Amino acid sequence: MTAFGTGEERSGRAGGKVILLGEHAVVYGVPALAVGLERGVVARVLAAETEGHELHVAGWGVVVRPSDGTDLGRAFMALLEASGPAVLGRPRVVHAHVELPPGGGVGCSAAIGVAVARALDPAASLEHVMLRATAWERVFHGNPSGIDVSAAAVGGCLRFVRGEGVRTLVTARTLHLAVGATGRASSTKVMVERVAALREAEPARVGVSFARITELVATAVAALAAGDLEHLGEAMNENHAILGTLTVSTPELDELVAVARGAGALGAKLTGAGGGGCAVALASSEAHALEMVREWRRAGFDGWTSASAARQTDASRLYPAAARP
């Protein structure tokens, strides 16, 4: 769609994500595995002309403008500027419906950026959408790895390497996941800086941890291809333990993981930056995922389920735009 008609609107959608393995290490070139979530963001752009761009996030009760000085407003401006004069010069009102917890480690901000970019310019290529959403993400995260934007824009199961891009993986079995929320937001920027400081203070120890994560990702990729969920889950469990040594887990995240494992999770770990946010658990079936969510709710947490079906796409297709600085 290249032009508006009377009363017409445009929309764009993007999904959230969980990281199965590799968060924090991915910033330093270690591969990471992510899975797109069914929950996400829908953005709609109304046809009516306005005096200036506005972004409405209904569930948050927020309205921002590019020049209002807020982080959300500055991110909106960065996306508009990256979109070029055709978008920047034609003011629109964007309404975003967000199904993800902000600061939850499930790619909420990237999903908003991708959905808004798509709604403002439905003709934009995948590469351009990702570049625009990456400009949005830098406002919040400073030095984002690119994995959140990749998952929001591409979906499915992804292997990501910073500087190389993202590769979609064909999985032998559907992945049934449960996502549990601590209810406490986290700052990716703050947690990335914490790990950077630890790496500077103890380079050898952190280097050993990152090397082990590299091995775990390789194990997980092979397990996904073979449909071996048990070995995938074991890799997730070990990755959570490593993240604990990097001081990014919290008692609430550890409790979410323990409750999930007590309910028979094949694997469970924090997802995203840590310091709050969410945990992800690998289930044997949809019913099993629902049971873990029930157990989390009994323990005072919230959660939901998601599934990622085996993708029959070309597993070698690359989207390098996600990794560009």
Domains by residue range for the chain, with CATH: 9-169+317-323 (3.30.230.10), 175-308 (3.30.70.890)
- Please give the share of the chain, as a percent, with pLDDT higher than 70: 91
Catalytic: which of 71, 148, 228, 302? 148
Average pLDDT over residues 221-241: 97
pLDDT band at 314 (very low <50, low <70, confident <90, very high): very low
The pTM for the full model equals: 0.86
Contact 102, 57 (CB under 8 A): no
pLDDT of residue 49: 65
pLDDT at site 57: 94
Top pLDDT among 166 and 126 is at: 126
Q: How confident is the model at residue 246 (pLDDT cuts 50, 70, 90)?
A: very high
pLDDT for 177? 97
Digit-coded pLDDT (tens) for 277-305: 999 999 999 999 999 999 999 999 999 99
Is residue 309 pLDDT above 70, yes or no? no
Summarize pLDDT for 70-116 with one digit per residue, the tens: 999 999 999 999 999 999 988 999 999 999 998 888 999 999 999 99
* 314 is known as an active-site residue: no
108 in Cβ contact with 141 (< 8 Å):
no
Q: Quote the crossing angle between the two packed helices 229-245 and 203-226, to the nearest 10°.
A: 160
pLDDT > 70? residue 11: yes
pLDDT at 317: 38
Q: Mean pLDDT throughout 19-41?
A: 94
- β-strand 175-181 against 157-161: which pairing, if any? unpaired
